[in-house]
Amino acid sequence: MKYYLGMDIGHTKIKVGLFDKNGNNICFSSAQTPFHSNVIEPAVLWQCAALCIKKLIMENDINKDDIKGISCAGHGNGLYLIDKGGKVMDEAYTATFDLAQKYVDTYKSSPRIEELYGYTLQKIWSGQPLMILNYLKNERKDIFDKIGTAFFC
């Protein structure tokens, strides 16, 4: 049988399901998302997600070669970083990141707020990548200067 794996890494749980070609759920597994604050350790998150998938496969006697496709969803916004050398950086940030609030307050009174909305189609808040990057640029230059690529979750 062919399976399709779907995974959602939410703020509270990692959920993994296997589906058949018609979209019927065959089996399901979940685990607590290892968020301890609004800062994430990507290596720990990766290990937790991998263990959740392994548990699903082993407990349901699934041949991994029968998995023909994978789809992922995340918790939205936040920020995940790759350094200039292509390595995942040690810290990532959830959409609940609140340390950038003073930059949000500054932009809200700026005439550029409409321009920002034109790019993001969202009202700004502290957990958006742009605001987190602004925080890192101004308050964590040690991290900001290493960034090669930035991703939403």
The pLDDT tens digits for 111-136 are: 888 888 888 788 889 999 989 999 99
Domain ranges of the chain: 3-74, 80-151
The pairing of beta strand 80-83 with beta strand 92-93: unpaired
Closest CA to 129 of 114, 144, 145: 144
Q: Which CATH number fits domain 3-74: 3.10.580.10, 1.10.10.10, 3.30.420.40, 2.40.160.60?
A: 3.30.420.40
Contact 45, 52 (CB under 8 A): no
The pLDDT tens digits for 29-67 are: 999 988 877 889 999 999 999 999 999 999 999 999 999
> Residue 66 class from Cβ within 10 Å (0-12 exposed, 13-18 middle, 19+ buried)?
exposed
Angle between helical axes of 113-120 and 101-108 (0-180°, round to 10): 110
